[in-house]
Amino acid sequence: MDTFDFNQGSLYNDDNLAGTITSLIVHQNLSYPPWTYDNLVFPTIATPTLGDFLDANSSTAGTQAASITVILPAVSLNCSAVSSNAINMTDAGYYYPESYLNSYDSNDAQLIFNATIPWLCRDNPSNISEVQWVMSLTAPLNVTGALSGAATVLSWSVDASVGYGPLLSARIFGTLGMGCPSFGFVFASINAYNTTNAHNASLVTYHAEDIVSMVTCRQSLQEVMTNTTLLLPSLALDPAHPPAPQENTAHYLHNGSTGGEWEFPINASLISLATPDLDQAHRLDPFMQAIVLGKDAIPGNELVGPAGLPKLLNASNNLYSIYMAQAISENMRSSTTPNGEALPTYQANLTNPYKQRLKQNNGPKIALQVLLGLMVFCGIMSYVLLETKTVLPHNPCSIAGMATLLAGSQLCTRKVIPEGAEWMSDRELQKAGIFNGWVFSMGWWGEEVAGSTQPGKGRRFGIDIGRAERAT
């Protein structure tokens, strides 16, 4: 059984296809890979002697399940929304030169969302009370109620010269280990209209009406007791009995530097999540598309504004949890202890309560024995007492039985039956008098070979011309 090292495996550049797997789960309804389920990650269990056990119990192999209770890591987000009064939206021209804006689609509005929020990190080395969080989004021009949204890694810094301010939103930066909210997203319904349709020297102006949600999230890890059913012999999770966490046993895991906050830089996820086709009236990044278009799709208009915020937070947490379960499974497994020693091997007993066996009830058993004894006794007595000398050796009513009675008989020769008689009907045979004057009988014919060790050798039983020897 392996274990997890949550400090290994950087998700900054490469997540070992965890984002791709998440995309297949969300968009193509792929089954959860082995040892993962929803937001749960299971240690890999290796059972060297299980094959021998199943060989000895092959009648039930593959048909039964084993139930266990295990302690598992579970991942989640703890999110809070920025007050709408603290959010300002402006044209991107205030922040970017015209040459930069010209690289974007001219049919899109380039918008900047600026929010003043409190310093939310556990550590505050410079006694900062509040910071500016700046996010840029695009929205199609002259489209009413267009959806726009994006998720990002949050990088906090005490250096106000970094990015737009002390709080930086970008997919190319990691987190800084101060116990901060390290993930965030913006989701908005925007009505952007071109008021000038002309570029000034340094600014393109638009009029926009917006319903915006800006959310910061802390990443957390929990351990929870989970009732789990495994199939034999694959040890795969039983889809008919999915894992059932005991929520009252959940508790948060702490790391050595940021307390209860885990600052996984999930940049690779935000880049590698697949982007399906989307109506050109909206501008959503892959994370938001997975929420709006995935297997548990929620219409975008149900996610905007204060009324849609609970659904938005829940959907974001679900998607993040699925990804992080895959990221931990693919990147953070360890086969050694922190000291580099091999993990211990645990002895366990696998009890198969479904092994089949024969059970006899005493009463029916005795009755059956008596019946079988009577059958044997009757068979022996029949063999000893039954007169069989006058019994035909074959059934004469069958074709084969009739043929054995006529085999070797003169009755089947041209001496008795002339050529062509086989084609005559019974009436024609009687009219021709073919059998008139002949005497036929059934019995024993021929002489026994002298000195033969086989009784009756040379004799046959059947029908022939004349009077046969009768059995005595």
| Structural domain boundaries in the chain | 78-334, 388-465
Name which residue leads in pLDDT, 332 or 271.
332
Give me the helices (H) in 9-151, please.
18-28, 50-56, 98-101
List all residues 6 or more positions away from 170 whose beta carbon is below 8 Å from its beta carbon: 152, 153, 155, 163
Name which residue leads in pLDDT, 175 or 452.
452
The confidence score (pLDDT) of residue 176 equals 62
pLDDT for residue 195 is more than 80: no
The confidence score (pLDDT) of residue 163 equals 33
State pLDDT tens for residues 33-69: 999 999 999 988 776 555 555 555 555 444 566 677 7
Which of 81-85, 375-379, 456-460 tops mean pLDDT?
375-379
CB 117 within 8 A of CB 161: no
CB 259 within 8 A of CB 178: no
- pTM, two decimals, is 0.68
- Place 187 in a pLDDT band, splitting at 50, 70 and 90: very high
Instruction: Tell me the sheet residues that pair with 225.
Output: 71
State pLDDT tens for residues 116-138: 888 888 888 778 888 888 888 88
The confidence score (pLDDT) of residue 9 equals 63
List all residues 6 or more positions away from 125 whose beta carbon is below 8 Å from its beta carbon: 158, 178
Q: In a 10 Å sphere around its CB, with 0-12 CB exposed, 13-18 middle and 19+ buried, how is residue 50 labelled?
A: middle
The confidence score (pLDDT) of residue 171 equals 42
Of the chain, the end-to-end C-alpha distance in Å amounts to 86
Question: How far apart, in whole angstroms, are the C-alpha atoms of residue 161 and residue 370?
Answer: 101
The confidence score (pLDDT) of residue 202 equals 40
Of 145-149, 158-162, 380-384, 439-443, least confident by mean pLDDT is 158-162
